[in-house]
Amino acid sequence: MWNQMSDYEPKIVGFVCNWCTYTGADLAGVSRFQYPPNFIPIRVMCSGAVDPMYVVKAMLEGADGVLIGGCHPGDCHYQSGNYKARRRASVLQELLKDLGLDEHRVWVRWISASEGKKFAETVTEFTEELRKLGPSRLREEWAL
Amino acid sequence: MDAVHIDVKGGDFNAALTEALAVLLDKHVVDALLVPQESERGTSINQTLVKKAAGLRRARPMNFIMPVNSAKLLQLLSETEPDEKLAVVLRPCELRAAVELVKLNQVNRENILFIAQDCLGTFRMKVYDKKAQEIRKAGADPTASLAARCQTQLRDTCWACEYFWPIEGTADLVIAHLGGDIARELFIEAQTGRGKEAIQALEAAGYKAARLPEARRAEIERRKAQNAEFRKKWFADARAKMGTLDGILEALSNCIRCYNCRDACPICYCRECIFDAEFMKPTARGMLRKANKKGLLRMPQDTLLFHITRLNHMVTSCVRCGMCEEACPNDLPVAQLFCSEAENVQKIFDYVAGKDPTALLPLATFKEKELEQIDR
């Protein structure tokens, strides 16, 4: 072990859509909801714009979890981006599962602009879950 | 459906087929033909573009090797607006790739007549080269002699093939032999209106109307069951070998990142692949930073990123032709990996790549009510 994992803090990379989840995160901040600081948000215009490669790259670079956040089904700013994101994420999770890459570390959540509370809860829940799972093996893996 | 009978003399089914194809050119059913022909030395067979019947010199429409997936050639031919009618002789996996590329707006279906065949299976190219030379030395025709023998060295992808005949409704014309004796007779059946025109031209040229052998269905089912058995073992082996992080890293550890698998893949059609983009090039500083963090770093890096990304991009349309593995200089089991993943992923959407021209691409469509457990 090159890093001491006793002081393990999960690292979450989040791809959050501009119209819902990002705004929801903003609301969480404005509303002063408390949530763990383990979340690194990356704003994208739509969850449908998240190429699975971004998610895989984040994982391979050592993120313990990746969150894809979009509008609720039916509420996409671009009509159907989140439905397509859902299909793409399903493909990705199937592949991760089959290759032994722990698909439980990729979460898809629909969080609207008014759900600041849900955003805070989701990040809290995900952080706790990742604490239980322990650090991603990919952090240490050198043969990628 | 309309079909004609083709008499095969002396077991030379390719000569008989060539005559029939020449009719299509002579009678101007099509203006050009994309058809496999043997090299002068007889050790290789490649697709050729033929404008006149005289160009059908050593045509081997049915053969035992597949240097490229011809759907890729159709994409090339579709890049500029073709103003001539083209017929192309395809294997079932090439046909399925062509069907996918039509959906992906890469192949122009308007001007191309798909002639697909009951597949004989293919050898690895290196294996074929040796076999063909031996048979040639003995003074025989490699394709005809190989068809007469029991094949045990076909590519794994061929043994695992689920659709080794042209799936109904995907081709214009079908060259059928399953359930009959290829050394004595072949059949060409029309499956579309355009196909019918071609059959009429063949009938006008003296070919007799016929029906496909009654035993064809049963023969297809028999082989299907046989292949399903191999496929099951092959996929189980893939899971055992590559179902864990250690396993997949070990299996891909000889990858030299040549991108041959991508270039050979009929579905990887992007003009500029993201892995060729400037911003994807690793910097020395970045690599050293990672090496510092992890203690050591495999070079070149990002092998897994490449293969998983490629999988994500093509797996819903993968037709399991196995050209990736054929192109791999280090014989990585990439076809085994991609074929088994294609099976798993396409199942989610109840989709089989190349099976139904009217079925929408899984990633280009959606249902409002589906996959609802994903946010739980």
pTM of the entire structure? Answer: 0.94
Q: What is the tens place of the pLDDT at every residue in A55-105? A: 999 999 999 999 999 999 999 999 999 999 999 999 999 999 999 999 999
Residues on chain A touching B311 (C-beta within 8 angstroms)? 95
> Higher confidence at residue B142 or residue B185?
B185
Q: What is the tens place of the pLDDT at every residue in B162-215? A: 999 999 999 999 999 999 999 999 999 999 999 999 999 999 999 999 999 999
pLDDT in the model for residue B83: 80
Contact A144 B304 (CB under 8 A): yes
Work out the minimum CA distance from B292 to partner chain A, whole angstroms. Answer: 10
Residues on chain B touching A53 (C-beta within 8 angstroms)? 274, 305, 309, 312
Confidence of residue B82 (pLDDT cuts 50, 70, 90): low
User: Is B308 an 8 Å CB contact of chain A?
Assistant: yes
Is the domain of B44 the same as that of B108?
yes
How buried is residue B148: exposed, middle or buried, by Cβ count under 10 Å (0-12/13-18/19+)? exposed
Is the domain of B174 the same as that of B247?
no
| Full residue range of the structural domain in which residue B317 is found | 241-375
pLDDT in the model for residue A5: 55
Quickly list DSSP for B125-163: HHHHHHHHHHHHHTTS-HHHHHHHSPP--B-HHHHT-S-
B305 lies in some domain: yes
Of B219, B100, B210, B87, the closest CA to residue B164 belongs to B219
Q: CA angle B122-B123-B126, nearest 5°?
A: 145
| CA pair distance B112, A104, nearest whole angstrom | 46
B232 lies in some domain: no
**Burial per residue of A131-140, b for 16 or more beta-carbon CB atoms within 10 angstroms, e otherwise:** eeeebbebbe
Going B48 to B53 to B56 to B59, the CA torsion angle's sign is positive
Is the domain of B301 the same as that of B349?
yes
B50 lies in some domain: yes
| CA pair distance B171, B192, nearest whole angstrom | 8
Q: pLDDT above 70 covers what percent of chain B?
A: 99
| CA pair distance B112, B32, nearest whole angstrom | 10
Is the domain of B44 the same as that of B188?
yes
B317 lies in some domain: yes
Contact A87 B274 (CB under 8 A): no
Contact A92 B312 (CB under 8 A): yes
Encoded tokens for A84: 């397509």
Is the domain of B210 the same as that of B298?
no
Is the domain of B254 the same as that of B143?
no
Contact A85, A76 (CB under 8 A): no
> Cβ atoms within 10 A of the Cβ of B363, count?
16
By mean pLDDT, which of A5-9, B240-244, B328-332 is the weakest?
A5-9
Contact A119, A31 (CB under 8 A): no
Is the domain of B65 the same as that of B190?
yes
Kindly tell me if the per-residue pLDDT of B243 is higher than 80: yes
CB interface of B with A, residues 269-298, below 8 Å: 274, 293-298
Is the domain of B92 the same as that of B31?
yes
Residue B289 contacts by C-beta under 8 Å, 6 or more apart in sequence?
Answer: none
Is the domain of B144 the same as that of B246?
no
Kindly tell me if the per-residue pLDDT of A124 is higher than 60: yes
Contact A100 B294 (CB under 8 A): no
Say how many residues make up chain B: 376
What are the two backbone dihedrals, phi and then psi, of residue B143, each rounded to the nearest 5 degrees? -60, -50
Note the ipTM here: 0.94
Instruction: Map tokens 């984040």 to a residue.
Output: A58
B295 lies in some domain: yes
B145 lies in some domain: yes
- On the CB side of B201, how many CA atoms lie within 13 Å of its CA? 20
| CA pair distance B115, B171, nearest whole angstrom | 6
Residues on chain A touching B301 (C-beta within 8 angstroms)? 144
Q: What is the tens place of the pLDDT at every residue in B16-63? A: 999 999 999 999 999 999 999 999 888 889 999 999 999 999 999 999
Across the interface, of A94, A107, A144, the residue whose CB is closest to B348 is A94
Is the domain of B210 the same as that of B297?
no
Is the domain of B184 the same as that of B252?
no
| Domains recognised in chain A with CATH numbers | 12-139 (3.40.50)
DSSP label at residue B123:
B
Q: Which of B218, B250, B269 is the last residue of a domain?
A: B218
Is the domain of B180 the same as that of B34?
yes
Across the interface, of A60, A73, A94, the residue whose CB is closest to B304 is A60
Residues on chain B touching A101 (C-beta within 8 angstroms)? 245, 308
Kindly tell me if the per-residue pLDDT of B150 is higher than 70: no
- Per the structure, how many domains does chain B have? 2
Contact B315 A95 (CB under 8 A): yes
